[in-house]
Amino acid sequence: MQARSYQIATPGKLLIAGEYAVTELNQPGIVVAVNRYINVSIAESNAQVLDLPQLGLNQVKWYYVNGKVTFSISDNRLRFMQQAMQTVYAYLTEQQITIQPFQLSVTSELDDSSGIKYGLGSSAAITVATISAILRLHKDETLDKDIIYKLAAISHFQTQGNGSCADIAASTYGGWLHYTSFDGSWLLKQLKTQCNISKIVDGNWASLHIEKLNLPSSLVFCVGWTGKAAATAPMVTRIQQLKENNQQVYQNFLTDSQKAVETIVNGCKTDNAKLMLDGIKQNRNVLRRLSNQAGVEIETTLLNQLANLAEDYGSGKSSGAGGGDCGIAFVEGEENVVKLNQVWEQIGIKTLDLMPSINGTRIIKHE
């Protein structure tokens, strides 16, 4: 009997609006899945090895003993995969499904050819891809996106301890998403007091909101890369210090961010390009004020130029934490896309040929 095998494609993401605020309870954001993928191949095999050739890691043996996943080497770059495997194994064991040995290989389209990250959410995508592949190998049925999302969110919190998981939602469900996170403190409490992963998955994830959106029909989505990877951890720390030291200023930021996101959402729901462009401008201004108040450079010189040039054709802003990585723009008409790409390239911004990935994580081949 031929060994079963599957290929899974899981998209990366870009955060469109609601940056920093979306990590808070009941604060909305907008995220989109993009057509750059983590590709995972999984096949039944007694070899029990992992191959990640782009990281120079080949034939890494894995073991699952007494509820713990271990690897034959110690490499911090494998921590998200390790925790994803451990989380999904706990879930499968609770479902009384026997763990199958397999061989798994991973390739990524989320970074530059030089290895510099674009900021497309590689840790979230590898977590979702790993869980999707292992679930499909063990459960001969269509991938359940809600289960994948929750297992990936659990795995992420077990690895990192915080975050909005908007990137996990994008990689799982695909498309343009209006997103509000679950209560992270609730999940941490569950993980400390509740040993049963299945009960957490089946529980009520209060405040979680994931809603598909459509971009206004006259707008075109553009992405420019600054060529510099962002160092997000120090920036997040400074924002946290602002929250602790000046609660009123931080609350004003949350209120303004929510208004901007709601404007964008209304523009999408009513096919109103002007409303959406206004919301993008509002969110850019909100983030610039936050940058000044917290003493962090969210909008670098190059991101500032990127967004200012976009204003001539539509509206633009930084994406995600800022400080590098990508900026985004929405413009009306393909002729304006060409013009914007030209002026971006004149100042050293590389246009990325990215489009929304509508389907999220999916099986692209099985044997």
Interatomic CA distance for residues 344 and 357, integer angstroms: 24
The rounded distance, in Å, linking the Cα atoms of 117 and 112 is 6
Q: Are 318 and 329 in contact (CB under 8 A)?
A: no
Backbone φ and ψ of 2, nearest 5°: -70, 140
Span 27-67, pLDDT tens digits? 999 999 999 999 999 999 988 999 999 888 999 999 998 88
Per DSSP, the three-state class of 129 is helix
pLDDT at 120 over 60: yes
125 burial via Cβ count (<10 Å: 0-12, 13-18, 19+): buried
Split at pLDDT 50, 70, 90, the class of 129 is very high
198 bridge partner residues: none
The bridge status of strand 57-65 relative to strand 49-52 is antiparallel
Give the distance, in angstroms, between the CA of residue 74 and the centroid of all CA atoms in the same chain: 25
Portion of the chain with pLDDT greater than 70, in percent: 98
145-160 vs 166-173: helix axis angle to the nearest 10? 150
Q: Is the pLDDT of residue 339 over 90?
A: yes
Round to whole Å and give the CA distance between 176 and 35.
12
Indicate the average pLDDT of the chain: 93
Q: Among the listed ranges 68-72, 85-89, 111-115, 239-243, which one has the minimum average pLDDT value?
A: 111-115
Q: Which helix (H) or strand (E) holds 317?
A: strand 314-318
119 compared with 40, residue with greater pLDDT: 40
Q: Domains of the chain, with CATH numbers?
A: 5-213+356-366 (3.30.230.10), 219-352 (3.30.70.890)
Rounded mean pLDDT, 244-260: 97
Which pLDDT value is given to residue 205?
96
Q: Residue 20 in contact with residue 239, Cβ under 8 Å?
A: yes
Distance CA 140, CA 165 (A): 27
Average of per-residue pLDDT across 352-361 = 94
pLDDT per position as a tens digit, 269-308: 999 999 999 999 999 999 999 999 999 999 999 999 999 9
Neighbours of 113 (CB within 10 A): 5
* Integer Cα distance of 272 and 228 in angstroms: 33
Is 110 in contact with 128 (CB distance < 8 Å)?
no
Angstrom distance (rounded) from CA 251 to CA 105: 45
Per 3-state DSSP, the chain is made up of helix, strand and coil in percentages (nearest 5) of 45, 25, 30
Q: What is the pLDDT, as a whole number, of residue 367?
A: 61
Q: Where are the beta strands (DSSP E) in 20-129?
A: 28-44, 49-52, 57-65, 68-71, 102-108
Is the confidence at residue 111, as pLDDT, over 90? no
Q: What angle do CA 60, 57, 82 make, to 5 degrees?
A: 55
pLDDT at 70: 93
DSSP conformation class of 300:
-
Residue 276 burial class via C-beta count within 10 angstroms: exposed 0-12, middle 13-18, buried 19 and up: buried
Query: Percent of the chain at pLDDT above 90?
Result: 82
Spatial CA neighbour of 181 closest among 163, 197, 198: 163
pLDDT of residue 113: 67
Q: Among 13, 12, 88, 79, which residue's Cα sits nearest to residue 52? A: 79
What confidence score (pLDDT) does residue 233 get? 82
Which has the minimum average pLDDT: 129-143, 170-184, 327-341? 129-143
Encoded tokens for 138: 């063990």
What pLDDT was estimated at residue 97? 93
Using an 8 Å Cβ cutoff, are 284 and 263 in contact? no
Q: pLDDT value at position 127?
A: 97
Q: Which pLDDT score is estimated for 2?
A: 64
Whether 352 contacts 340, CB under 8 Å: no
